[in-house]
Amino acid sequence: MNEINTVTEAAAKAVKKPAMPDAQTVTEVTHWTDRLFSFRITRPATLRFRSGEFVMIGLMQTDEKTGKEKPLLRAYSIASPSWDDELEFYSIKVQDGPLTSRLQHIQPGDQIIMRPKPVGTLVHDALLPGKRLWFFATGTGIAPFASLLRDPQTYTDYEEIILTHTCREVGELEYGRQLIANIRNDEMLEELIGEGFHEKLRYYPTTTREESPKMGRITDLMRADEVFEDLGVAPLCPQNDRAMVCGNLAFNIELKGMLEEYGLREGANSDPAEYVVEKAFLD
């Protein structure tokens, strides 16, 4: 009798527990450093997004006051391109962060929430046609560019694409380094874009707090014209150059000011221009 009651109570609890809304299954997790990891999840068949957009993802948490389960969500750039069967994300681990203190422990087979409403300004539609496209990233700000760099449109729309990625330490560049290496070996992209594809993509990683072949904040390296000398390109101009910026708030503000000085104007989905900016996280 007792056993039957126990089973019945457990079953009742299971029925009362709300199902996770918009659940997707984790398929792969990679830890890059003790502060950074990436993961892949299943993609809902109906989800359409433009490379560079972000969605809200998260986990269920118990409300301390009511004891009820509710979603805890944060904005995340989709790091995979729009044609991919799965969705990839590149994430910070904030040790006392409400979401990432838990999210960093996900394993393949676990479920997470993904709200299927992609939005964002780091999209091709927000830029006017140009010759050279700059992606300026710090830290996890590389995530939307990991999507755009794997999108054939990036290479068909521009003659040259330059990714700059500034991090404190060398290990924090590894996700981007492997991304670029994989793109350069990607037979599908080569077939689609044709000869010269490899020369189109330039990669300019820098560190600020650990020794590496190129050190310094990208903003300082631009002011000193060092980036342009290293890459053998002219400083940015509104006729040729387009830019997408994604990093911490201070970086975004500083670089935005510099881009305006070069003569570029900020664009938006509804009013395309020469550059677009998005925060990599809220400060």
Ligand X SMILES: Cc1cc2nc3c(=O)[nH]c(=O)nc-3n(C[C@H](O)[C@H](O)[C@H](O)COP(=O)(O)OP(=O)(O)OC[C@H]3O[C@@H](n4cnc5c(N)ncnc54)[C@H](O)[C@@H]3O)c2cc1C
- Name which of 25 and 101 has its Cβ closer to ligand X: 101
Dump strand ranges (E) for 53-179: 54-62, 69-77, 86-92, 111-119, 132-138, 160-167
Question: 3-state class of 118 per DSSP?
Answer: strand
CB 144 within 8 A of CB 77: yes
- Name which of 160 and 278 has its Cβ closer to ligand X: 278
Per-residue exposure over 30-65, b if at least 16 CB sit within 10 Å of its own CB, e if not: eebeebbbbbbbbbeeeeebbbbbbbbbbbbeeeee
- Name which of 24 and 91 has its Cβ closer to ligand X: 91
Strands in 160-167's sheet, in edge-to-edge order, are 201-207, 160-167, 132-138, 241-247, 275-279
Among 200, 214, 217, 279, indicate the residue that binds ligand NAP (CB under 6 A): 217
Q: Is 119 among the residues that bind ligand NAP (CB under 6 A)?
A: no
Q: Is 99 among the residues that bind ligand X (CB under 6 A)?
A: yes
Q: Indicate left, alpha or beta for 124 from its phi (over 0: left) and psi (-120 to 50: alpha).
A: alpha
How many residues interact with ligand NAP (rule CB under 6 A)? 15
**Which part of the chain contacts ligand X (CB under 6 A), choosing from 26-34, 70-78, 168-176, 179-187?**
70-78
- Nearest approach in angstroms of CB 92 to ligand NAP is 6
What lies within 8 Å, CB to CB, of 139 at 6+ separation is 92, 167, 172, 247, 248, 280
Q: Where in 197-256 is the site for ligand X (CB under 6 A)?
A: none
Q: Is 30 among the residues that bind ligand X (CB under 6 A)?
A: no
- Name which of 194 and 235 has its Cβ closer to ligand NAP: 235
- Name which of 52 and 130 has its Cβ closer to ligand X: 52
Q: Is 75 among the residues that bind ligand X (CB under 6 A)?
A: yes
Q: CA nearest 87: which of 141, 155, 35, 27?
A: 27
Q: Is 123 among the residues that bind ligand X (CB under 6 A)?
A: no
Q: Is 12 among the residues that bind ligand NAP (CB under 6 A)?
A: no
- Residue 217 binds what, of ligand NAP, ligand X, none (CB under 5 to 8 Å, by partner type)? ligand NAP
- Nearest approach in angstroms of CB 176 to ligand NAP is 12
Among 251, 267, 274, 276, indicate the residue that binds ligand NAP (CB under 6 A): 251
Q: CA nearest 125: which of 193, 50, 192, 54?
A: 50
| Backbone torsions φ then ψ of 132, nearest 5 degrees | -125, 130
Q: Is 102 among the residues that bind ligand NAP (CB under 6 A)?
A: no
Tokens of 223: 């002011």
Measured in whole angstroms, the distance separating CA 159 from the mean position of its chain's CA atoms is 23
Q: Is 250 among the residues that bind ligand NAP (CB under 6 A)?
A: yes
- Residue 90 binds what, of ligand X, ligand NAP, none (CB under 5 to 8 Å, by partner type)? ligand X
Binding residues (CB under 6 A) for ligand NAP: these are 35, 138-139, 166-169, 208-209, 217, 219, 248, 250-251, 254
